[in-house]
Amino acid sequence: MFGAMWSEHCAYKHSRPLLATLPSEGERVLVGPGENAGALDIGDGLAVVFKVESHNHPSAVEPYQGAATGVGGIIRDIFTMGARPIALLNSLRFGPLDSEDDPTGGTDDAAAARNRYLFGGVVAGIAGYGNCIGIPDVGGELAFDPGYSGNPLVNAMCVGIASHQITLARAAGVGNTLLLVGAATGRDGIQGASFASAALGEDRDRQRPAVQVGNPFLEKLLMEACLELSGSEAVVGMQDLGAAGLTCALAELASRGGVGVEVNLDRVPCRETGLTPYELLLSESQERMLIVVRAGREPEVQAVFARFDLQAVPIGTVIAEPVVRCRAGGEVACSVPARALTEDAPRYVPDAVPPADLELRRSMDLRPLAALPPDEETLLELLGAPNVRSRRPIWQRYDHMNGTRTMVPPGSGDAAVLRIKGTARALAISLDGPGRLGALDPRLAAASAVLEGALNVACSGAEPIGITNCLNFGSPETTRGYWELREAVAGMAEACTALGIPIVSGNVSLYNETPDGPILPTPVIGSVGLLEHRSALLRMGWTDGDDIWLVGEPGVDVAGLAGSELAWRRGFRGGAPRLDIPAAVRLIRLVPQLARAGLVRGAHDLSIGGLGVALARMAIASDAGATVARPAPRAAPTAALYGESVGRVLLSVSPRRAADLEAAARDAGVEASRIGSAGGPALRIDVGDVELAVGLDSLRSAYEQPF
């Protein structure tokens, strides 16, 4: 029990002191960190409940079930709080799928084949679980890098809607009953929490028993039953059985409520014979919940579960003594203070030292790359690169319209947008990571991810209101690993403080390493924005005759190429990226104002591939070309076109509203310049002394390559 509960996965031994520095309060915050998910007020007595979590290690061993049960687990975190899940998103990272896709030459055919196997299994697992349970998968991101070979990242985010009467995960009321509901307990997933708290080794395939097996149809029944009961006074609290299984659920319910629990393990429903107390307490069999029910009202709660053909078995009671006491065969199997398993876990603050070669890499001269004259071939190469090309082959496997809330589906905007039924409001949600910036500056990478996510929801016309995070890093026991983690948390805190938005939930996934080394530092940010009225909704695109404006920092300096897709593909894996946080914040606040005022028709932020790829994607989405002129320093035309500095957007504007846009940007202290107009069968870009012209068919052909 201590091994599981004091694992990094459950106890956050290295990260909790750092996470305490993150801003988590605000006028909209109803529930902050420490519960199953965070909750924010969105008006009309409603709350948005959301969280992101990882299932990296299980997906590296058994990709279908690893990804599927990751989706199932995050869904339970949401409906446990009485919120109906309305959307799923996922952030996925893999090694190269083909050896020729690795410009370093370090991925052989065997490694690429393994990566492709993991990729296919993960996508199928996400689709299989989400489609069956009836929750739309509406967005996310996908990236490839050799650093993720053998250790993919599978981060799943779920968003739900609830009333302000939120069900919390804590026990109360001496004599109240503990009901174990849902699936029977088996031997799958035993010690999964400990498995997730160690680096992946050559024995990864022998870890298959630590991977859980999911049943989305059972979870659908469990979800509907729990949601029906969430407003009942018969229910005191709910907790799903995830990492560390029954041990964690009992300990957390008791510890949060300041009480104890006494359990008869002989009453736990089993699907296998001969399970020992050890196995019963540490099994991570899926689709199980622990419900605290007021004494005497068990029959009415059991009747609800019975209508959904779910067993609900009393296995114990709440006691005054603050211990977790379990009996089996008439004997005490364990008696442990609840806080000893949860709050009393050790905390570590190791030495933090940056990688020895970091300064050398950051000093790399990118001017030779920046000075290259742009050409059509490079633009098409970037559009077709695995990190850029259309994600349609993935998201078309997901049912993204389930529930009839989806207004902006995958591929149609920078964020997914879902209507809040019964109101004029809508939610914009996105899930983003910083690409390869973490290898050069983890603090800047985390801040960039926060700003990128906020800008994505802003480009949908929404005001960013809250954040959830998933911190994917290597071992914190090394000086380098802890330094990367510490820097990333500091960057998140800085960006969130500047934006004035809270981080209300999250997850930490450490020990993402193989014998070849750790993954790239990868903080992933889930952003939620609120449109007060759906009439302010923006999509990605333009129409013939629109003016095209570039708003935000010019982004023509060489630093914009540091960590960029083009630089990495050309072998420039260094440089010193820069980020102007105050300028990005001003832009993020400006874009929703422009949308509400009706000054903007379409919007798209500049990210991977810079201005060139952003223009191409807008042209493809609109089925209309454009003629653009972008002044650029003679020594850095490629930086001007393909640099990836955060804090810039393309806006399509009616010519008659151009003066209003310019005035609004000036008043907000945001740089803005008209760079062209929409229309025609080709995208024409004049950058510096170079002219590019690519037909829409060629752009589309490059962008829509399969994986």
From CA 183, how far away is CA 576, in angstroms rounded? 52
Contacts of 498 (CB under 8 A, 6+ apart): 581, 582, 585
Which stretches does DSSP call E strand in 532-634?
Answer: 547-552, 602-605, 626-630
**What does the DSSP assignment read for 181-235?**
EESPB-STTTTHHHHTTS---TTGGGGGGGS----HHHHHHHHHHHHHHTT-TTE
604 is annotated as an active-site residue: no
From CA 552, how far away is CA 563, in angstroms rounded? 20
Q: Are 143 and 154 in contact (CB under 8 A)?
A: no
Q: Are 334 and 277 in contact (CB under 8 A)?
A: yes
- DSSP H/E element including 684: strand 682-687
93, 54, 523, 35 alpha-carbon torsion, rounded to 10°: 160
* Residue 544, number of CB atoms within 10 A of its CB: 12
Look-up of token digits 């030495």:
351
From CA 548, how far away is CA 559, in angstroms rounded? 25
Laid out side by side, the sheet with 406-408 consists of: 406-408, 416-419, 426-432, 522-531, 463-472, 503-509
- DSSP H/E element including 691: strand 690-695
From CA 526, how far away is CA 505, in angstroms rounded? 10
Q: Are 173 and 295 in contact (CB under 8 A)?
A: yes
Closest by CA to 300, choosing from 232, 251, 241, 362, is 232
Amino acid identity of residue 114, one-letter, is R
Look-up of token digits 């996925």:
92
Contacts of 309 (CB under 8 A, 6+ apart): 221
Q: Are 459 and 595 in contact (CB under 8 A)?
A: no
Closest by CA to 147, choosing from 660, 669, 608, 518, is 518
Closest by CA to 601, choosing from 618, 583, 582, 579, is 618
Per-position b or e across 419-457, b if 16+ CB within 10 A of its CB: bbeeeebbbbbbbbbbbbbbbbbbbbbbbbbbbbbbbbb
Look-up of token digits 């709050």:
343
End-to-end Cα spacing for the chain: 43
Angle of the 581-596 helix axis to the 479-499 helix axis, nearest 10: 40
478 DSSP 8-state letter: S
9 is annotated as an active-site residue: yes
- Among candidate residues 9, 14, 57, 604, the one labeled active-site is 9
Taken in order 479, 482, 488, 491, is the CA torsion positive or negative? negative
Collapsing DSSP to helix, strand or coil, 82 comes out as coil
From CA 215, how far away is CA 210, in angstroms rounded? 17
Burial of 700 from C-beta contacts in 10 A (0-12 / 13-18 / 19+): middle
Token duo for residue 315:
């296995």
Closest by CA to 236, choosing from 248, 254, 251, 209, is 254
Q: Are 616 and 580 in contact (CB under 8 A)?
A: no
- Among candidate residues 14, 55, 57, 400, the one labeled active-site is 55
Look-up of token digits 């905007």:
413
Q: Are 460 and 417 in contact (CB under 8 A)?
A: yes
Look-up of token digits 């807008």:
618
Q: Which residues are catalytic?
A: 9, 55
